[in-house]
Amino acid sequence: MKDETQVYHIQKDQRGTRLDRFLIDATEGVSRTYLQRLIRDGDVTVNGEIGKQPSYVLRDGDRVCLTLPPPRPLDTAQPERIPLDILHEDRHLIVLNKPAGMLVHPANGVNVGTLVNALLSHCTDLSGIGGVERPGIVHRLDKGTSGVLVVAKTDAVHRGLSAQFERHSIARQYVAVVCGAPTETTGTIDARIARSRRDRRRMTTIKTGGRHAVTHYAVLERYPQFAFVQLTLETGRLHQIRVHLQGIGHPVVGDAVYGGEQRALNDADTPELKQAISQLKRQALHARLLGFEHPATGEHLAFSAEIPEDMQRVVDALRFF
């Protein structure tokens, strides 16, 4: 397959726009992250020059040339016969319920046991846009987060789903058990997120800079020292729910990175609850619902998955003891 080259001439009404934002609007369904990588890799030129940053501000008359490389062959991640909990599958995409403890794609030296390894064994027609390490992966869930996730089989559907994520038109609903309980029954957390300078594993909320992030919450059940909450994402940033909840003083139970593990164990007031939290070994966060427009058919689809047993044991211990 050959590279696909697109050329754009900047008009007066487009000047002052960031290069990456312009390309998002100009292309159909190519994610911002992927475009930023292409810019940094030299696949985007402005007036014949490479080396521009994604934040470059376009000027009247600039000539932007975008080269979309063909999908890379899926030749490094190895197929593994790992059972998948598939909620829906057609020739365009797969929707599944990811278990807690499974990485979505190879990372940090982990090349086996990931969702990508399982998918490569299940089917051979995944989208190549994500490259050799992330074929078909449109979005991700943290290793310790369970729940509904969609994977693209074709490049066109990958671009279509990515565009919906960029527009924030995907319906994403989570549930979590948190330490303490928000005073208000419903609310919105609007706080910018950036990587922590002290610990690169962590994200943090900041007043300026970083990335805009919005999480809506609703308290479903209140207990002494804890709450069961529903969370709806307006944006989708790395660790968004976890860092937002920690930022308002209610970290997710079991979350060792954001302070929810030790606090939950300290606050557990029954042996049954302490045991359930000890056995959790991950954050009590589950992606319960995912809704989107099927890029190939135009049909609106929505899928849900009940919370897994380890989280249910924590909720039961809260309810009945």
In 3D space, the residue among 229, 234, 198 whose CA is nearest the CA of residue 215 turns out to be 234
Query: Looking up tokens 């992330």, which residue turns up?
Result: 134
CA distance 97 to 42: 37
In 3D space, the residue among 144, 182, 188, 140 whose CA is nearest the CA of residue 161 turns out to be 140
| Paired tokens of 150 | 């969609």
Confirm whether 142 is a catalytic residue. yes
Asked if residues 127 and 157 have their Cβ atoms less than 8 Å apart, the reply is yes
CA distance 221 to 219: 6
DSSP structure class, residue 13: G
What's the angle, vertex CA 159, arms to CA 143 and CA 232, rounded to 5?
50
- Catalytic option among 20, 62, 142, 155: 142
In 3D space, the residue among 175, 278, 277 whose CA is nearest the CA of residue 221 turns out to be 175
Query: Environment class of residue 76 by beta-carbon count within 10 Å: exposed (0-12), middle (13-18) or buried (19+)?
Result: exposed
CA distance 130 to 268: 42
DSSP structure class, residue 73: P
* DSSP per residue, 79-108: P------EEEE-SSEEEEEEPTT--SS-BT
In 3D space, the residue among 262, 206, 260, 263 whose CA is nearest the CA of residue 237 turns out to be 206
Roughly how many angstroms between the first and final C-alpha of the chain, as a whole number? 62
**What residues are annotated to the active site?**
142
